[in-house]
A and B are shown apart, each in its own frame.
Chain A
Amino acid sequence: MNTADAIITCTALEKHYTRGGETVRVLESIDLSLERGAFVALMGPSGSGKTTLLNLFAGIDRPTAGSLTVDGHDIVKLSRAALAQWRASSVGYVFQLYHLVPVLTAYENVELPLYLQPISRRERHLRVSEALESVGIADRHAHYPRQLSGGQEQRVAIARAIVTQPALLLADEPTGDLDRTSAAGIMELLSHLHRDRGQTIVMVTHDPATAHHAQRTVFLEKGRLVDAPEVHR
């Protein structure tokens, strides 16, 4: 792949923690390049470092060593404030447990990241409405998270992640807490975002059936990329 087409490029990426005086090597020597517009699944057993790698891509955690360029930014060198600003405009993140703000309605949760954008109130309203519409939850806009099902909450979380039109959408086991029907709906939605909008998606999952929706699957084991057959649709 031409590096000019890559949205994520990492070289010799490492992440270590010190726990009880002992160094835990969560990620080791990760060399990876993911192309813009791709739908990539990160797979591996529990503790293999999938979520940590996703967090590094999102700039919500810092690598111990190595280089990491996302959407043209060397995010390792960005200051804390610059990194936050970059996240606000370039990354959308979907959590396994949705993490909606409980005292805000679906509309207000989706509106949250737009407070950081230099847009008018009218533009904000249009974008929120469009995002809610695109995830099929517009009729629940005035509902609080406690009034929504798991699948509906995750749809709101996806709307919140895409409302800023980020270059990169990261999803950490987006169907991990959902029943089969809701999970299928969420995967259909992500596929639709990728297919119709060309959205770059990197998704962590345990489930091969879920990974099946992705164009490419990257395997991790004990913090290292392993040679496994890449699954192409």
Chain B
Amino acid sequence: MINRRTLIGLIVLAWRGLVRRPTRSGLVVAGVMVAVFLFCTVDAMRTGVERATSRASQETALIVYRQNRFCPFTSALPQYYENAISKIPGVVSVTPVKIVVSNCRASLDVVTFRGVPAEDFALSHAASTSPREMSDWLKRGDSALLGKELAERRRLKAGDRFTAAGVDAYVAGIMQSDAPQDQSSAFVHLPFLQEQAKRGSTGGIVTQFDVRIADPSKLDEVALAIDAQFATDQTPTTTRAETAHVARAATDVIALIGFARLLGFAALAAVFALIANAIVLSMRSRQREVSVLQTLGFGGAHLATLVMVESLILGTVGGVLGAGASYAMVALSRTALTMEGVAIAVPPSIGIAVAGIVIAIALSLAAGLVPAVIASRQTIVCGFRS
């Protein structure tokens, strides 16, 4: 119906009209951009939480925590449980971990000290840092290996000293691990952290045990066996899959993100209303212009296309800017939501950015539909009388 040359002409015409009404176009694009930014950022947070809390079929990691305790400050387990846990059938390895956090609540800037057995850690994380840094860490009892996000956030490098949560440590190196729990943690020697965090109690106390098992299908079975082992002990345990442990710690954040997601959808509704309103107002103020175009021979299909192209450009430009800004912010800030010593990374996602753009385009097309039909049906004489 509309040939290629005419279509290009209409696109050029729509583009000129938008670019040469910069205030109106800029405001609409800014509105769309903010809404898409909000949607994409909230969705990135939701994706991070979903990844961290969705149990994978091949999951083999368990966290043993003190029963009815929900914060590293209050979960205290005897380190000698390690032997008993390691003897439970199906268990491959047990790592006693002492956790000290600078802030127990949900926050974007938390330093999490993880005290771990040095030799075991060096073996399992040999690839995460350079041999020289690992050797340095093994030699010094007060040294720490920092996750790269923590190091970037606090601007720390090998050779520095830093203090957080009452713990003063020497930075032996920076780890390159991509695991969320590693990125915002400072790994220190277990005895060192136990000593630093003693606060009146005796040593030999850990916060949790990280347990690896051989068969993912026996995750629940092994967890029950561990809890049964210490059920009548002075410090009974609660054992969960690592993802379930993160989900429990992040309960409040999950609820907040659920609510924020509703805000994200509301923002998309705002995109629709914003573009529709802008196009309707624009067409209303340009009724004479539409009549002039009709007089020149532009038909209903041409005018509808012109309105749709304008709407599409506004939605696409706003969508690309909003999704791009969200992606850049998430990628550059390397944000991790940390609560109760558990870190949830907010991952940058091309998929979310593309989804944001596609939704903005779809909404802009829907928003332009009614104004397009109105413009295509306008009678020339009525337009001139307006």
- Residues 291-332 of B, flagged 1 when their CB comes within 8 A of A and 0 if not, give 111111111111000000000000000000000000000000
- Residues 256-273 of B, flagged 1 when their CB comes within 8 A of A and 0 if not, give 000000000000000000
The residue on A at minimum CB distance from B381 is: A61
Say whether A85 contacts B16, CB under 8 Å.
Answer: no
Instruction: Tell me, yes or no, whether A112 is within 8 Å of chain B by CB.
Output: yes
Say whether B297 contacts A113, CB under 8 Å.
Answer: yes
Interface majority SS on B: helix, strand, loop or mixed? helix
When distances are taken between beta carbons in the complex, the residues of chain B under 8 Å from A95 are 292
Say whether B380 contacts A61, CB under 8 Å.
Answer: yes
Say whether A85 contacts B297, CB under 8 Å.
Answer: yes
Of residues A80, A115, A160, which shows the largest number of chain B Cβ atoms within 10 Å of its Cβ?
A115
> With A61-B380, A112-B293, A118-B3 in contact, do A85 and B20 touch (Cβ < 8 Å)?
no
Question: Which of A55, A80, A87, A119 lies in contact with B297, CB distance below 8 A?
Answer: A87
When distances are taken between beta carbons in the complex, the residues of chain A under 8 Å from B292 are 95, 99, 101
Chain B: residues with Cβ within 8 Å of the partner, total of 26
Instruction: Tell me, yes or no, whether B51 is within 8 Å of chain A by CB.
Output: no
Say whether A116 contacts B302, CB under 8 Å.
Answer: yes
What separation, in Å, do the CA atoms of A101 and B10 have in the docked complex? Answer: 14
Say whether A103 contacts B21, CB under 8 Å.
Answer: yes
Distance from A179 Cβ to chain B, minimum over Cβ atoms (Å): 24
Say whether B299 contacts A112, CB under 8 Å.
Answer: no
Say whether A87 contacts B300, CB under 8 Å.
Answer: no
Instruction: Tell me, yes or no, whether A167 is within 8 Å of chain B by CB.
Output: no
Say whether B16 contacts A115, CB under 8 Å.
Answer: no
Say whether A84 contacts B297, CB under 8 Å.
Answer: yes
Instruction: Tell me, yes or no, whether B5 is within 8 Å of chain A by CB.
Output: yes
Say whether B20 contacts A87, CB under 8 Å.
Answer: no
CB under 8 Å from chain B, chain A span 61-114 = 61, 80-81, 84-89, 91, 93, 95, 99, 101, 103-104, 108, 112-113
What separation, in Å, do the CA atoms of A95 and B384 have in the docked complex? Answer: 11
> With A60-B294, A103-B21 in contact, do A118 and B301 touch (Cβ < 8 Å)?
no
Distance from A199 Cβ to chain B, minimum over Cβ atoms (Å): 17
The residue on A at minimum CB distance from B299 is: A84
Instruction: Tell me, yes or no, whether A8 is within 8 Å of chain B by CB.
Output: no
Q: Interface of A with B (CB < 8 Å)? A: 55, 58, 60-61, 80-81, 84-89, 91, 93, 95, 99, 101, 103-104, 108, 112-113, 115-116, 118-119, 160, 164
Q: Please, could you name 6 A-B residue pairs with CB atoms under 8 Å apart, sorted by A?
A: A60-B291, A81-B300, A93-B295, A95-B292, A115-B5, A116-B298
Query: 7 tightest A-B contacts by CB?
Result: A88-B297, A115-B9, A84-B299, A103-B20, A60-B380, A113-B296, A87-B297
Q: Interface of B with A (CB < 8 Å)? A: 3, 5-6, 9-10, 13, 16-17, 20-21, 288-289, 291-302, 380-381
- Known A-B contacts: A85-B297, A87-B296, A87-B297. Give 4 more (CB < 8 A): A61-B380, A86-B297, A113-B296, A116-B296
